[in-house]
Amino acid sequence: MSHRFIACFSKAGFHRVAYREYGDPANPRVVICVHGLTRNGMDFEPLARALSERFRIICPDVVGRGASDWLDDKSAYGYPQYIADMTALIARSGAKEVDWIGTSMGGFMGMLMAGHASSPIARLVMNDIGPFIPEAALIRIANYAGGDPRFPDRAALDAYMREVYAPFGPFTASQWQAMVDSTVRETAQGDIALAYDPGIVEPLRAGPIADVDAWPLWDALSQPVLLIRGADSDVLTADTARQMCERGPRARMLEIAGVGHAPSLMSADQIDAVCEFLLA
């Protein structure tokens, strides 16, 4: 695994986007893995290592998260900037086309990119996200993601994360430790914060929160889609998932029992399903 950066551009100037790369750098089969709103590319470590013998895997930290820079202009946090950055990353990879695995926000980004003419996305894995997102789920996310909690030590962070990330499903001890380690940001005051800019939620909170409805974009997709859903998810409802399997690209669905938003993509059954889809 190699840890790299790419320079990307916003209206305020340049910023760095961090990414990790796994597998043979000469492999033409490139997979981009993009995380959810407050997470980072380390979430895909088990999946990336499992797939790296067959694919070249690239896992970015979206700007404002992980090891990537924070934006001074918080209003720039949003899909136009994120997609511009990912377009630059795909160009850096040299790939003519890529497969895309996206959790929550990352999946929505993939859908937005795949829906345009001449898109480089060949296959799309959407992890617990769809073209319709209920207002109630967005309000819940804005409420927990918009703060800047501080913790005196890792034990306190661990307790907080066990509550917030309970819907992700079961973890092994080593997987959970990796989740905690990738979430730590040490502050100048000597305490611990979460590894993202709290300002990423400012655009969401700037106006009234309402349902997101992107069904026309979904219906225009032609790429094969694997849809993964946590059976208890409030972000990807059962009705939305059913419709995604019946219209547009007619997704193939894997539903994970006992999991909410969003499946971790760390268990063997989830990894095997993703690999089987990408190799089909």
Amino acid symbol at 206: A
Mean pLDDT of 113-124: 96
**Residue in the structure block whose two tokens are 């990894």:** 271
- Tokens read off for 187: 């502050």
Q: Which domains can be identified in the chain, with CATH numbers? A: 2-279 (3.40.50.1820)
Query: Which DSSP symbol is given to 78?
Result: S
- Tokens read off for 213: 């409805």
Q: Answer yes or no: are the C-beta atoms of 29 and 2 closer than 8 Å.
A: no
- Tokens read off for 33: 């893995």
**Dist CA 217 CA 268 (whole Å):** 32
H or E element, residue 171? none
The residues, ordered by sequence, that sit 6+ positions from 273 with a Cβ below 8 Å of its Cβ are: 226, 228, 254
155 burial type by CB count under 10 A (0-12 exposed, 13-18 middle, 19+ buried) = exposed
pTM here is 0.96
Instruction: Please name every residue paired with 18 in a beta bridge, in sequence order, or none if there are none.
Output: 5
Orientation angle between helical segments 154-164 and 173-181, nearest 10 degrees: 110
- Tokens read off for 211: 């349902």
What pLDDT is attached to residue 267?
A: 93
Q: Answer yes or no: are the C-beta atoms of 41 and 35 closer than 8 Å.
A: yes
**Dist CA 237 CA 135 (whole Å):** 12
pLDDT over threshold 80, residue 146: no
**Dist CA 86 CA 166 (whole Å):** 29
For residue range 179-238, list pLDDT tens digits in order: 999 999 998 888 999 999 999 999 988 888 999 999 999 999 999 999 999 999 999 999
Q: Answer yes or no: are the C-beta atoms of 110 and 90 closer than 8 Å.
A: no
**Dist CA 160 CA 228 (whole Å):** 26
**pLDDT band with cut points at 50, 70 and 90 for residue 145:** confident
**Dist CA 164 CA 146 (whole Å):** 13
**pLDDT band with cut points at 50, 70 and 90 for residue 167:** confident
